[in-house]
Amino acid sequence: MGRMRFRFYLYSACVAFFMLACAYAFRLLVLDLPNISTLEDYTPSLTTHIYDVRGELIADLYTERRALIPLSQIPVDLQNAVIATEDDQFFKHWGISVRGIVRAALQNFWKGRVAQGGSTITQQLSRGIFLTPEKKLTRKIREILLSLQIERNLSKQEILQMYLNQIYFGHGAYGVRAAARTYFGKEVSSLTLGECALLAGLIQSPASYSPFTHADKANERRAIVLSRMLEEHYLKPEEKQKALEEPLPVERPAQVGTSAPYFVEHVRQILEPKYGTNMLWRGGLKIYTTLDLRLQKLSEEIMEKNLITFDEQAAKELARKQLESPGEVDISTTPPKVQGAFTILDVNTGAIRVMIGGRDYKTSQFNRASQALRQPGSTFKPFVWATALMNGYTASSPVEDLPVAYYYDGRDWRLLEGATDQLSISLATAPFASNPDFDIWVPNDYDGRFLGKITLRKALELSRNVASVWLIERVGPPQVVEVARKAGIRSRLDPVPSLGLGTSVVSPLEMANALGTFANLGIRSEPYEVVRVEDAQGKVLERNVPMESEVLDPQMSYLMVSMMKGVVERGTGRYARKLNRPVAGKTGTTQDNRDLWFVGYTPDLVAAAWMGYDDFSSLGRKDLTGGSTVVPWWTEIMQQVLKGYPARDFAVPDHISFVKVDADSGQLALPTCPKQILGTYLKGTEPKEFCQTDHEKVEVISSTETVPAGAPPPTPSPL
C-alpha cells in the first residue's frame, strides 16, 4: 500500500512538473510575442516616387519596391488565385489549418527534413511582419499563436489586403502593385487572368518560378495555379484554356527609374540629410521636381550623339599620328572617352529643367554639372566686362590689345613696366627664365596676334584675352570677384589678373545661374530642383518657391545682354544664330584645350554646356574650341528645347538708348560705314563723335576662337 502511494505521489509530481514546465515555456513564448495592436499602425517599407514638372515619373527610391493599395483595387482573379494556391480554406479556418499542419508534419517526417510548411495566409502574414523565416519549432508555435491573435483582431478582408501588399514576388517587388509593374509594366487593376495566375504562382518560390530566368517552370507553375482555381470553382474550363494561351513575359519591361540619374542623385543628396535615410527610402514620399523629363531625354540623346562623333574623330586622329610617327606615339594607346555636362535653368525662377552630369551614370556617378570644378575659360569674361560698365566704361570704350608681361614678387602679380612689345618683353624676362623663384606671365591670344586698340564690345565678341587682362587690371580683380559673387558664383575665386581668363574653377551649374542673372536684368534666381514633397498620405512636407534677389543694376545687366548678343551675332558663338531668335552667350576654351564651354541664354532659359576629359588631358587639336566644338551641339539641343517658347527679345529697362554706330570704331555711324550696328548705351553715355575710320585700310580682325563650318555669316543687327 505504501509503495502504491509513493508511486502515485511520484507520478503526480512528474505530471505537475511537466505541466508547470509547459506553462512556463508557454508563458515565455506569449510574453515574447509582439503586440498585435501594432498592426493597426503598421506601415511596410514603401517606395518613394520622384516626378518631373509635368507629373511624369522620373525614378523610384526604395529598399523594397512596394506600393499599398486597397483590396477593392486588386482584381478578384488575383485574390482567388492566391487563395486557391496558398490557402484554399482561408475563409473557413480561424488562423491555422490543422489538416495542413498534420499533412506538413507527415511529409517532413517521411522526408527527414523540413520540406513543407503547411502555413495559412494568416501564418505567412504573421511570419512576414513579426517573425524571422527560420525553421524552428519555437518559431512555428509563436507563428500559430500570433495567427490566432490576428484572426481575433482583424477581418478576413483586412488580413488578405495586408498579405497581398506585403508578400514578396521576386526581383525586388513587394506587394501585388509592385509585382504588376515589375513583370508586366502595368497597373495591378489591368492584369489578365493568366497574369494573375503567374503572380500567384511566384509566391511559393519567386526565384524558381521567375519567367525571366525559368520560363518553363513559370509556365508549369501557372498551369498548376489555374488548375487549382478550376478545382475551387473560381473559373470555367474555357477561361483556363484561354489563360494558358497567354504569352509569358520573357524580359523585364522598361522600368521607370533610370531616367535623369544624375539629377535624381542631386535631389537625393539634398533631401536625405533633411528627412533621413529611412524616410527617403522607405517612407513612400512623393517628390515633385522642376525637371522637364521630355527636354532631359532629348538633350541626353543629342549630347551623346555628338560626343560619340568626337570620340570617333579623336580615335582617327590618334591612328593617323601613330602611322606618321610610330616611334613617338604608343600604338597601344586608346583615347579616353570624352565627358560632357549640360544644364538648363529657367531664367526667371532658377528652376532646373535639365541636368546631365555625364555620359554613363553606371560607370561614373560623379555629377559634372553640379560637382565638377573646371576652369571656365573665356565664359568668365562677362563678369570683367560687367565690372567695367559699373566703372564708367561703355560698349564703345577703347581697350588695349597689346603685349604685356607680369612678374610675381612673392605677394602679388605686378606689371612689368616698359615691356610694351614682344622684343622688350623677351629682353626683360630673359635673365629670369631659369630662376624658379621668379615667375613670369605673358598673356597671349589664340591667334598669337595683337590688335591694338579695339572697342569693349568687339573685344568681348572676339574673346580677346590680352584685352581682358588689360581691363581687369584697370577695374581691379577684387571688384570682378564681387560682381561674380553677386551674380551667383559660389566657388572660390582668386583675385588675380588671370581671373578674367577663367583660371579659377567653377561648375557648369554655377555658370548657368550667374550668367542667367544678366538675362534676368540683374535679378538672381537661386537654382532649385524640388517643388514640393508629400508624405505617403498626401500631406505636404515642404513647398518651395523661387528665391529671387536684385543683385545687379538692370541697366548694366541689359548692356551686358546686348554685348553678349553680339558674341552670337558676329563673334565666336555665331553658330547659335541658327536658332533664328534673340540669343546671348559666351564661348570658352581653356589652356591646352582641356575644357570647352558655351553658356547661352534667351529671355526664358539659360543653358551651360561643357566637355573635356576627366583626367584634365588636352582634347587634342588646337582648332578645337568652345565655338567650333560645343556651340554646334548646344545649338542642336536648344533648337528642340526652344520649340515650346516664343521667339521674343529681351525686355529693355528704362534709361537705355540705341544709336547706330560703326562696328569697328564704336563711333556714330556714317552712311559710308560698311558695318553698322545698333549700339546700346545708358542714356547720356552715347558716343558723341562720328566715325573717322578709313574702312578701306582696316585690317580684318580675327577672334581667339574659331567658328565652326556651317555657321551663318556675320551680319549687322537689325536697325
Q: 131 to each of 25, 87, 126, 146, 550, how far by Cα in Å?
A: 18, 20, 7, 10, 59
Choice among 151-165, 666-680, 703-717 with the minimum mean pLDDT: 703-717
What percent of the chain clears pLDDT 90, i.e. is strictly above it?
53
Region 672-692: mean pLDDT is 91
Residue 699 has pLDDT above 70, yes or no: no
Region 543-554: mean pLDDT is 96
The residue type found at 612 is G
Model pTM score: 0.77
Residue 698 has pLDDT above 60, yes or no: no
Residue 52 has pLDDT above 60, yes or no: yes
561-602 pLDDT tens trace: 999 999 999 999 999 999 999 999 999 999 888 999 999 999
Residue 272 has pLDDT above 70, yes or no: yes
3.40.190.10, 1.20.1250.20, 1.10.3810.10, 3.60.15.10: CATH of 64-244: 1.10.3810.10
| Residue 718: per-residue pLDDT | 32
pLDDT confidence tier of residue 710, bands split at 50, 70 and 90: low
| Residue 39: per-residue pLDDT | 54
As given in the structure block, the three cell numbers for residue 461 are 565678341
Residue 41 has pLDDT above 80, yes or no: no
Region 415-436: mean pLDDT is 59
| Residue 90: per-residue pLDDT | 85
Region 260-267: mean pLDDT is 95
Residue 632 has pLDDT above 90, yes or no: yes
How wide is the angle at C-alpha 77 spanned by C-alphas 72 and 82, nearest 5°?
95
| Residue 282: per-residue pLDDT | 85
pLDDT confidence tier of residue 315, bands split at 50, 70 and 90: confident
pLDDT confidence tier of residue 333, bands split at 50, 70 and 90: low
As given in the structure block, the three cell numbers for residue 682 are 545708358
Q: Which residue has the higher pLDDT, 381 or 363?
A: 381
For residue 287, count other CB atoms closer than 10 A to its CB. 25
β-partners of residue 415 are 406
Q: Which residue has the higher pLDDT, 550 or 498?
A: 550
Identify the top-confidence range among 53-62, 392-401, 559-568: 559-568
Residue 29 has pLDDT above 60, yes or no: no
For residue 712, count other CB atoms closer than 10 A to its CB. 14
What is the rounded end-to-end Cα distance, in angstroms, of the chain? 133
Q: What is the 3-state secondary structure (H, E, C) of 563-625?
A: HHHHHHHHCCCHHHHHHCCCCEEEEEECHHHCEEEEEEECCCEEEEEEEECCCCCCCCCCCCC
Residue 672 has pLDDT above 90, yes or no: no
Residue 106 has pLDDT above 70, yes or no: no
Region 252-271: mean pLDDT is 82
Choice among 47-56, 188-197, 399-408 with the minimum mean pLDDT: 399-408
Tell me the domain boundaries of the chain: 64-244
| Residue 701: per-residue pLDDT | 46
Region 98-112: mean pLDDT is 58
Choice among 403-407, 581-585, 616-620 with the minimum mean pLDDT: 403-407
- What is the average pLDDT score of the chain? 83
| Residue 11: per-residue pLDDT | 65
Q: 155 to each of 40, 76, 159, 160, 647, how far by Cα in Å?
A: 12, 17, 6, 9, 63
Region 346-372: mean pLDDT is 95
| Residue 151: per-residue pLDDT | 75
| Residue 89: per-residue pLDDT | 84
Region 195-205: mean pLDDT is 94
pLDDT confidence tier of residue 113, bands split at 50, 70 and 90: very low
Torsion of CA 186, 188, 192, 193, to 10 degrees: 150
Residue 708 has pLDDT above 60, yes or no: no
pLDDT confidence tier of residue 444, bands split at 50, 70 and 90: low
Report helix, strand or coil for 410: coil
DSSP code string of 6-32 = HHHHHHHHHHHHHHHHHHHHHHHHHHT
Choice among 352-356, 383-387, 626-630, 643-647 with the minimum mean pLDDT: 626-630
| Residue 276: per-residue pLDDT | 92
pLDDT confidence tier of residue 114, bands split at 50, 70 and 90: very low
pLDDT confidence tier of residue 522, bands split at 50, 70 and 90: very high
Residue 635 has pLDDT above 70, yes or no: yes
Residue 715 has pLDDT above 50, yes or no: no
Residue 3 has pLDDT above 70, yes or no: no
Check if the beta carbon of residue 263 is closer than 8 Å to that of residue 352. yes
Q: Which residue has the higher pLDDT, 479 or 701?
A: 479
Residue 707 has pLDDT above 70, yes or no: no
For residue 380, count other CB atoms closer than 10 A to its CB. 28
Region 92-112: mean pLDDT is 62
Nearest residue to 585 (alpha-carbon basis) of 543, 613, 627: 627
Residue 656 has pLDDT above 70, yes or no: yes
| Residue 535: per-residue pLDDT | 93
pLDDT confidence tier of residue 68, bands split at 50, 70 and 90: confident
Helix (H) or strand (E) holding 400: strand 398-401
As given in the structure block, the three cell numbers for residue 431 are 635673365
DSSP code string of 370-388 = TT--B--GGGGHHHHHHHH
Residue 613 has pLDDT above 80, yes or no: yes
What percent of the chain clears pLDDT 70, i.e. is strictly above it?
76
DSSP code string of 36-75 = GGGGGG----B-EEEE-TTS-EEEEE-SSEE----GGGS-
Q: State residue 548 phi and psi, 5-degree precision.
A: -120, 150
Residue 345 has pLDDT above 80, yes or no: yes
The Cα–Cα gap between 109 and 107 comes to 5
| Residue 181: per-residue pLDDT | 86
151-169 pLDDT tens trace: 777 888 988 888 898 888 9
Check if the beta carbon of residue 224 is closer than 8 Å to that of residue 209. no
Residue 310 has pLDDT above 90, yes or no: yes
Q: Which residue has the higher pLDDT, 291 or 440?
A: 291
Q: 560703326: which residue's cell?
A: 662
| Residue 129: per-residue pLDDT | 60
As given in the structure block, the three cell numbers for residue 168 are 514578396
| Residue 115: per-residue pLDDT | 41
Residue 48 has pLDDT above 60, yes or no: yes
Scanning 276-421, the segments in alpha helix (DSSP H) are 277-282, 293-324, 381-390
pLDDT confidence tier of residue 28, bands split at 50, 70 and 90: very low
DSSP code string of 442-498 = ----TTS---EEEEHHHHHHTT-HHHHHHHHHHH-HHHHHHHHHHHT--S----SGG
| Residue 719: per-residue pLDDT | 26
Helix (H) or strand (E) holding 205: none
Residue 248 has pLDDT above 60, yes or no: yes
121-143 pLDDT tens trace: 877 777 766 545 555 555 566 66
Report helix, strand or coil for 629: helix
Catalytic residue numbers, as ranges: 86, 378
